A and B are shown apart, each in its own frame.
Chain A
């Protein structure tokens, strides 16, 4: 990175800029409640007040900049009001519009004045005080708040003699950006304002699609050199991280600032371009958390894309995450998405597939606890004389659980979000706030712990029904005792086939379980006109669903976590990564395509030279060609090594590529483990 970007990067790492934030807290809800203000107007007024409270802070080296000086965005409802709403509704994640993707293309094309003028036009047709009139007013106020922030930064840039930024902000966000630089400034403003508007999990969508016209024009005309574009892009990336500690999420970093690169256009033509490449290069050098990069790939994706992606994986950040267009697009079309929309998919905060501008999906509304269901059926094992009747009961319970989970989602309430609505494709024309839904209003369910469930069923089938090496009584007693005093029973259960070993015995059960989840949700509609989508993700449910669950028939102890995402159980002896890929591409993934990647972990010494990197890249390509839907790779980091050292039983399959050979981490002497750990110090 160049000197200017380095200075900005150092500022981020030092965290000292945070001392510029004010300690002042704001509270508006009481006033709104007393005045009986309309919720949409509350949201708009709050944004305006936050814009007023914010102070523009720029540093000499900033070309884009922008940071928060007010830490907390206060609620629009009082606690009493919110409790009353919650009593009547289904509340998900604080009832805040979140985890969706804005239509940045439409904002950049024509600028915000185009939208503002259209809103004025439409409002003029409405009766004053009508719902639509009020919403349009709220939208206008929200845009004015955006303008206020822009003006504050323009004035500050001018005061500091930062002519380029001042000039950019005299054009955007009102008008179409005149080039790539102005487009970045505008996008940063929109991103900044969404956070200030209390929206959570603000994704960046298809950056290399909506920004490319600006980039291409500048590069072609010579207005912008590629190095300059890289420098500005890197600054933009760093800027996304400055306020990350203020963004709400389960953990810091869980903020949804995902970016999607590659994939195809509405006609199915590949879009991977020089800007996609530039973004990967920018991220590769920065090694910072945001934006989290997703690469859309398909069977025709060239090797160089995988190679660059693998270089990024090597940095140990856990991205890029790959999604396979050949599976995802048909899956979305099967679910009723228009083909052109499906081809435009992005990922939500983590991995769920959504459509920018057109979706108010809640793709992570809940999870089905597969191992929980299997455990309950296992507790009644004496009622089932054979494996067939045991399995039939599992199916019955999965379908019943789908009924229960879907019915729980009725009466969802979301708080209005007029600013977010302005950035959606249809909300202005329809005069409808995004919180009330838009073209796609689908809910997604994760299928948590499918590997643990499949392994449990496989062990019951093998040990109890087929080999009869464990009696039903013994199994029940062992589970009840959390295997204390039943080591022999547990060893037999552990030795049964497991998902991930490319053995149809266990893999076939996983295929069935996921099919039943899909069956249980298929054909059902939510009360917002959407459908329910089945998925292979886990989100935090691999902890939430497992911590209270007793021992399971796969040999898992009570409270032990399931695998995260769509992965083999933690303590399974694996044949290797090829078998894992075989196992996890067996399910009918187009039916369970809500999102949720196969996660593979490699020691980062595997990537130590070109040979290793090339082969990991090839492996990802093979997964895609084999029909996998989504994959995430980790170059294992030092913290994990230290944990593995203290708790080797948690990492039986951790492979260490040492040099021209590899071995299991657990089988290395402490001195060698320490050597690796030490070597990793400078990598981090």
Chain B
């Protein structure tokens, strides 16, 4: 049987905002959702791509000429043609053992630093079988966390949870119609996953990105706080919106098109959390 492989687009050492302690984050390629504010568009498609850094470009047109032959897609051939080496492959297939070995090379520092590994994305659960295989191998050796939208089949999530130490769970938008509009997909899947995670006993940390006029509204934050409180949780994190969210779109040759007013970003009213005794911090 072929070895199970996972498609990874970035491994970032010393990821400061992805969980406790000194951590390495592994970014899985592919995501079932399409959040309108996604700041990591490189992670959306579950296939290897060539991405192009816009800065330092001489405008020589060599890569574009080659891309034209392939329906506008940048290929390795296009990458090789760049005199400034601005094109690079995004998405590398790793075997589970290979990825574990790579992560374990820094195990001493990660452990001594009170941290471990965070699997993020994209949506890491989109490659749940591979992820579970990796988590099994690393379980007990490193503190393991996932950063997830929760958008995954119940059995896949259940199969993974026993090997995790922390689940950072996005509660983004809790109105079903709004969810469909801004994120795409069925909110009930997220809520089902949240319940499964909460009941599993694994440490669960809800996180909400603050999208101006979309997720940072009093109604949504109230719903988020209520969901957190009903799950018996007392901690949450809010991720402040930053206008640089769209900066990576050029990498994949697309344009960032927010359906909200970026300039309205501000500090929201935290009363819904405080009322329910939820300790909340803004990152």
Contact = CB atoms under 8 A, between A and B. Distances in A.
Interface of A: 502, 575-579, 581-582, 606, 609, 611-612, 615, 618-619, 622, 625-626, 645, 648-649, 657-664, 666-673, 675
Contacts of B17: 611-612, 660-661
A307 to B, nearest CB: 14
A578 B11 CA distance: 12
B247 A609 contact: no
A567 to B, nearest CB: 16
Contacts of B109: 578, 581-582, 622, 626
Interface of B: 11-17, 21-22, 24, 39-40, 53-56, 84, 86, 105-106, 108-110, 112-114, 209, 239-244, 246-248, 250-251, 283
Nearest to B102: A575
B55 A663 contact: no
Contacts of B40: 661
B55 A576 contact: no
16 contacts: A576-B12, A576-B14, A578-B22, A611-B283, A618-B21, A618-B22, A649-B84, A657-B16, A659-B242, A660-B17, A660-B240, A662-B16, A664-B53, A667-B251, A668-B55, A668-B248
B244 A615 contact: no
Contact of A575 (B11, B55, B243, B251): B11
Contact of B54 (A578, A609, A663, A669): A669
A489 B66 CA distance: 22
Given A611-B283, A667-B248, A622 B112 contact: yes
B244 A675 contact: yes
A575 B8 CA distance: 14
Contacts of A662: 12, 15-16
A610 to B, nearest CB: 9
B24 A649 contact: no
A667 B244 contact: no
Given A575-B13, A662-B15, A668-B247, 13 more contacts: A579-B105, A618-B21, A626-B109, A658-B242, A659-B239, A660-B283, A662-B12, A663-B248, A666-B86, A667-B53, A670-B55, A671-B247, A672-B244
Given A648-B55, A660-B240, A611 B113 contact: no
The dominant DSSP class at the A interface is helix
Given A661-B39, A663-B247, A669-B54, A612 B16 contact: yes
B240 A659 contact: yes
Contacts of A625: 112
Nearest to A667: B53
B106 A582 contact: yes
Contacts of B106: 502, 578-579, 582
Contacts of B113: 615, 618-619, 622
B105 A582 contact: yes
Nearest to B56: A648
Q: Among the interface residues A576, A609, A612, A667, which one has the most CB atoms of the partner chain B within 10 A?
A: A667
Contact of B244 (A582, A648, A659, A664): A659
B169 to A, nearest CB: 15
A54 B105 CA distance: 62
Contacts of B209: 660
Contacts of B112: 622, 625
A411 to B, nearest CB: 48
Nearest to B22: A618
A645 B54 CA distance: 11
A626 B110 CA distance: 12
A667 B16 contact: no
Contacts of A615: 14, 16, 21-22, 113
A661 to B, nearest CB: 6
B32 to A, nearest CB: 20
Contacts of A645: 55
A657 B15 CA distance: 10
Given A648-B56, A659-B244, A619 B105 contact: no
A581 B248 CA distance: 29
A666 B55 contact: yes
Given A502-B106, A660-B17, A672 B247 contact: yes
A311 to B, nearest CB: 16
The 10 closest A-B pairs by CB, nearest first: A576-B13, A659-B242, A648-B56, A672-B247, A578-B13, A660-B239, A578-B106, A668-B247, A658-B244, A577-B14
Contacts of A671: 247
Contacts of B244: 658-659, 668, 672, 675
Given A578-B22, A666-B55, A667-B53, A618 B16 contact: no
B105 A502 contact: yes
Contacts of B239: 659-660
Contacts of B15: 662
Nearest to B207: A660
A666 B53 contact: yes
A626 B112 CA distance: 10
A518 B11 CA distance: 36
A612 B283 CA distance: 10
Contacts of B283: 609, 611, 659-660
